[in-house]
Amino acid sequence: MATGVYNQAIGAFQSNSHINNFNHQHKFNCIGRLVVTKDFFSSYGLSKRDLRVSKCIEYQTSVVDSVSSPSRSKTSDRDTHKKSNEAALILVRHGESLWNEKNLFTGCVDVPLSKKGIDEAIEAGKRISSIPVDLIFTSALIRAQMTAMLAMTQHRHMKVPIIMHNESEQAREWSQVFCKDTNTKEHSIPVIAAWQLNERMYGELQGLNKQETAQRYGKEQVHEWRRSYNIPPPNGESLEMCAERAVAYFRDQIEPQLLSGKNVMVSAHGNSLRSIIMYLEKLTSQEVISLELSTGIPMLYICKEGRFIRRGSPVAPTEAGVYAYTRRLALYRQRLDDMLQ
């Protein structure tokens, strides 16, 4: 009863599901928290136990406080955000998948990492182990989620990534954490999965061997499907179509977090990340089609004063250069050193 009244009073979580061509879009929204007093519970005839339950539910909302900033849909909205903050943006393409290993077109087919991919994800985590991470966004596909989770096992801060389940009221209730100490930003990192960050949907090519497909349709045709900007494979997405959804999501949901000073990791796919990089670096359609991203190699950007500055890929956990890019990163690493001594 307490849970129901509490949720009714504050509207702690609200979600809308939309069915699109891929039948799996989920929109994540968070609404503000309300301090519930004993008088509030007395007015509803609830007990002290109900009050304790409500407090535990309130603790649960603390994990998602970091994603409660309003979204924005226009570039001009940038001016409404605080620009004096500096934040780190880590982009990482998932490690090799089992279908990458077999040279198959994967697209939106949900297959896991190969053994090599697992090793790549762990190595990616070592490379970013001294870079702050406050919030993680992944695609809805398991290979991107595995990469993020495995990478975070290597982080020196030892925070626990927690996937925020928003697909149903029951999923939200069942994933509550009833302990304040394990639910603060010092111990946990919210992980948001979004279909908009999925790989490009390859249509009728999904599951086909790339070499055999080239022999069947011709190398030039397959190259056009794979590397052109606006020509989709049969019943699939072009890079342009993938960019429309991925960049819109980045602008609306991820960029506001960076502009507010939060450090973000995005674990996604070759084409969705190419689209985001196209936006960050203002690449042309011709420049982006030649952009290659290796599996399991993180890329670091610094978001400062509304601009994104590319800093490349950390080579190893002990590399000094990447931490010298900004005073903030150097100080963070020093704090980790002091904490772990």
Domains parsed from the chain with CATH numbers: 6-340 (3.40.50.1240)
What is the rounded CA–CA span in Å between residue 16 and residue 29?
A: 8
**Cβ pair 252, 77 in contact under 8 A:** no
pLDDT reported for residue 25: 39
Catalytic pick from 94, 155, 157, 269? 94
High-pLDDT (> 90) share of the chain, %: 59
* Neighbour order of strands in the sheet with 135-139: 160-163, 188-194, 135-139, 264-268, 86-93, 298-304, 307-312
Annotated binding site for substrate: 93-100, 106-107, 143, 199-202, 210, 226-227, 270-271
Computed over every residue of the chain, the mean pLDDT equals 80
Q: What is the DSSP letter of 114?
A: -
Active site residue 287: no
pLDDT at residue 290 in the model: 87
Instruction: Judge contact between 148 and 138, C-beta under 8 A.
Output: yes
Please determine, for residue 325, whether its predicted confidence score (pLDDT) is greater than 80: no
Q: How confident is the model at residue 166 (pLDDT cuts 50, 70, 90)?
A: confident
Contact 187, 246 (CB under 8 A): no
Q: What is the mean pLDDT of residues 37-62?
A: 42
- pLDDT tens track for 119-162: 999 999 999 999 999 999 999 999 999 999 999 999 999 999 99
120, 123, 199, 255: the catalytic one is 199
Q: What is the pTM of this model?
A: 0.76
pLDDT at residue 320 in the model: 62
| Residues 95, 188 contacting (CB under 8 angstroms) | no
> What radius of gyration, in Å, describes the C-alpha atoms of the chain?
21
Name the binding residues.
93-100, 106-107, 143, 199-202, 210, 226-227, 270-271
Respond yes or no: is residue 244 known to be catalytic: no
- Distance between alpha carbon 115 and the CA centroid of its chain, in Å? 23
